[in-house]
Structure 1
Amino acid sequence: MPTAPGPRDAGAIPATRDRGDSCPGTLRLHAADDGALARVRIPAGVLTAGQALALWDAAQRLGDGSLHLTSRGNVQLRGLGEGCDRELADVLGAAGLLPSPRHERVRNIVASPLSGLDGRGEADVQPWARELDRLLCASDAATGLSGRFLFAFDDGRGDMVALGADVTVRATGRVGAVLRLGPGGTALSVRGEDAPRAALLAAEAFLDAARDIEARCWRMSELPGGSRELTVEVASRLRADGIHSELVPAPAWTVGDPPLPGVVAGPEGPAALSVLAPLGVLTAAQWRQLVAVAEQNGNGELRLTPWRGVILPGVGAPGTALASAGIVTSPVSPWLGVGACIGRPGCAKSLADVRADAAAALGPGPSGLPVYWSGCERRCGHPHGDWVDVVATADGYDISVRGEMHREMHGEIRGEMPRTGMPPSELAALVAAARTTAVTR
């Protein structure tokens, strides 16, 4: 297994912004070419069946009828009509998806989606994530966080540590945790029960540090000088709060793999069903089918993953209904590892209909590195770690392998393929070659 990238504090990006964070939310919609867009934060990706149905209702009545999954385990509603913001807020508020309107954009929390289900983790971090969400919504200071600031809880399997979180908490043993700020050179060891409070205090300390230097920082990595001094300050705040912590060297955490589609085995039999949404989009019918399976065969819960998938706890067999509906339930699906931004016609900045091109270039099965198609150089929603980067340009597509670890191990592969007039089979061959060559050279 590869390890998470090491310390990079010296490369902190200075903040030079002259405006506030415009990251969309549920109460602050974003104007797109296909209508307004709402981003609904789902802390740790956990939804009850009732909440999932509220999203389904909003997508059907107010949006384009589909639910778009994000790389942080959230849901985006697109194609929203003008003037629907109040009704959308009412629908989601009634379902408990807006516990605090002032905090709705800062509830960015991811957690190991199989934690507590398959017996693999050091501890169940899902309760830690829920407690942090409660603490966030009770903190006046936390309203100052950017909508991009991210908390991650890893149960020890390593699936969260490479997601680029600002505050990463990893379980160590059954009673301990290590807290890392950004890519930081040091970390803090705390008791697991104190981890949610420690994560909040770290975020509040970050806000104070950014204010002291009069910098408009949105992420930990943007603090001039990095996060080492901030880690010491957080330790001081924890001590004042009665929480014991110890400074420890930056951990070389092993990066774990995301869950594959299919039945997830647990200590006493099937623990859950893992599925993927092709290109991260589920139609209203597909979403409704997932909810039905969760209610009828599981415990009524859905867990959205940062890999645009869904975990259905307690579901022991995929059956045929989900696959027949177009939902990926097999680990050998050609959709595995394939992603794309919204592209044309939904985004005015996109230079291509990347979703159609990605579908046309789909290979026979999963192979090598993930591949992500972007309609422009912004690469919205791209994955973390190493991936094959397919970016539309004015002349065609540019292909490269991105990711710090991969460049260190293998160098970089670059190429360019013209979009106009190329048969889908040739397009697929070029992308497949980049995905497989990249992992073998």
Structure 2
Amino acid sequence: MKNRSHSDRCPGVLRPWIADDGAIVRLRLIGGVLPTSALRDLVVISDTYADGTVLLTKRTNLQLRGIQHSDSCVPSDLVDALSRAGLLPSPSHELVRNVMVSPLTGRVGGQADLRETALELDRQLCADPDLASLAGRFLFVLDDGRGDIESRSLDLGLMAVDAKTVQLRIGSHLWGPLVPLEDAPEALLSYARRFLALRGDGETALWHVDELPQGGEELLNEHHARDLRTQVSALPPPYGIIAQDDGRSAEHVAVPDGLLTSELAATILDRAGTEVIVTPWRSVVIPDLESE
């Protein structure tokens, strides 16, 4: 059990981090999915209010930095611009919308398509006022059965074992029950509520499931063995063109140092359709490209 001496300070838009060169804001993306309309707006927003670049994080989120601030708040015009772009869908829960998903889920391989599962998890998360008190680094990790993000440290998560069944994960080391895919969002959030009841209060409250005295065992009613079907792993996909299962293709684009410049963003936008995907490897996938 880790002793905390201060409350969570993970940044958001409404709670920026103040650095030497200005404020930093973080934008949460569910499963790394970023509509191209939002990316187009974000390039302009960064050029207007920040340092002109967009940083990709290892949690598939985005950061802007170098922002002018007053009394530790960023300009209201910036908040309004991000809201209009759809990048602040839930001000009350903006800090806790941390949902990482296998980037190619539903398009290339994997046991199950987790795209709707991630969206439903986010919807239920934002609908519960109590869950807004989770720490800003509390992370849900949804692996579609290929094992590409199975090794990530996490608080709660799942791994698909077939198209309709997943095994839940409790902290970075424990495995929960097998549940139907459609029941997974509600099941994960029930464990999140149990965590809130056990983590303590105030500035010393725990941030992560792994920090509980028994490493998360106290959230489980019984021991669950790890299903053999979850014992798989996969490397990140290679850069370049990747064949999708539906006959179309995706392009995995390197983003040097995870720093998306306006020039690289323009190149991506020229190729992309309705959305791109920010990966845990600080790169971008352009999906659903028609074969030439």
Same fold judged by TM-score > 0.5?
yes
The answer to whether the Cα contact below 8 Å between 1:169 and 1:178 also exists between their aligned partners in 2 is yes
How far apart in 2 are the matches of 1:207 and 1:253?
A: 30
CA–CA separation in structure 2 for the residues paired with 1:184 and 1:177: 16
> Distance in 2 between the 1:215 and 1:205 partners?
17
Q: 1:211: how far off?
A: 2.9
1:94 alignment partner in structure 2: 84
* Superposed displacement of residue 183, structure 1: 2.6
Q: Give the 3-state SS of the residue equivalent to 1:38 in structure 2.
A: strand
Q: CA deviation at 1:57?
A: 1.7
RMSD: 2.0
* Secondary structure of 2:200 counterpart: helix
**Can you list the C-alpha shifts for 1:79-127, whole angstroms capped at 9, x where unaligned?**
1122543122111111222121110010001101101112x11110011
Please give the per-residue CA displacement for 1:368-417, whole angstroms capped at 9, x wherever unaligned. Answer: xxxxxxxxxxxxxxxxxxxxxxxxxxxxxxxxxxxxxxxxxxxxxxxxxx
Question: Are residues 1:269 and 2:227 paired?
Answer: no
**CA offset at residue 316 of structure 1?**
5.4
Aligned position for 1:63: 50
Task: State the alpha-carbon separation in 2 of the partners of residues 48 and 154 from structure 1.
Answer: 22
Counterpart residue number, 1:244: none
CA distance change for structure 1 residues 166 and 64 in 2, over 3 Å: closer, same or farther? same
Deviations 1:8-51 (A, max 9, x none): xxxxxx22112210111111111112211111111111111111
| Superposed CA offset, 1:263-297 (max 9, x none) | 11123534211111001001112112212210xxx
Match of 2:279 among 305, 314, 323: 305
Correspondent of 2:167 among 175, 178, 182: 178
Task: Find the aligned partners of 1:103 and 1:156 in 2 and give their Cα distance.
Answer: 28
**Number of residue pairs the alignment of both structures matches:** 287
Task: Give the corresponding residue for 2:26.
Answer: 39
The equivalent of 1:117 in structure 2 is 107
Q: Deviations over 1:302-332 (max 9, x none)?
A: 1100100111111258x9xxxxxxxxxxxxx
* 1:156 corresponds to 2:137: no
Q: In the alignment, does 2:133 pair up with 1:144?
A: yes
1:210 to 199, 204, 228: 199
Look at both structures and tell me which one has the larger radius of gyration over its CA atoms. Answer: 1
- Tell me: higher relative CO, structure 1 or 2? Use CA pairs within 8 A at least 6 residues apart: 2
CA distance in 1, matches of 2:158, 2:40: 31
Q: Which sections of structure 1, spanning at least 5 residues, go unmatched?
A: 1-13, 236-246, 320-441
Superposed, 1:230-309 pairs within 5 Å as 230-232=219-221, 248-251=224-227, 253-294=231-272, 299-309=273-283
**1:58 Cα deviation after fit:** 1.4
Answer yes or no: is the 8 Å Cα contact 2:7–2:204 preserved in 1: no
Task: State the AA in 1 paired with 2:287.
Answer: P
Identity of aligned residues (%): 40
SS of residue in 2 equivalent to 1:172? strand
Could you tell me which of 92, 117, 122 is aligned with 1:128?
Answer: 117
Correspondence 1:48-87 to 2 at 5 A: 48-83=35-70, 84-87=74-77
* Alpha-carbon distance between aligned partners in 2 of 1:68 and 1:293, rounded to the nearest angstrom: 20
**Partner SS, residue 60 of structure 1:** helix
Report if the CA contact (8 A) 1:186-1:231 is conserved.
no
Q: Residues of 1 paired with 2:84 and 2:226: CA distance?
A: 43
TM-score by length of 1: 0.62
Whole-angstrom CA distance in 1 between matches of 2:27 and 2:119: 16
Q: Deviations over 1:200-243 (max 9, x none)?
A: 1111111111138x9521011100111122122xx8xxxxxxxx
Secondary structure at 2:224 match in 1: strand
CA deviations on 1:45-82 (whole Å, 9 max, x unpaired) are: 11111111222121110010001000001000011122
SS at structure 1 position matched to 2:96:
coil
Partner-residue secondary structure (3-state), 2:219: helix
| CA pair 28-227 structure 1, distance change in 2 beyond 3 A | same
CA distance in 1, matches of 2:214, 2:157: 19
| Contact 1:112–1:126 (CA under 8 A) maintained in structure 2 | no
Q: What TM-score results when the alignment is normalised by the length of structure 2?
A: 0.92
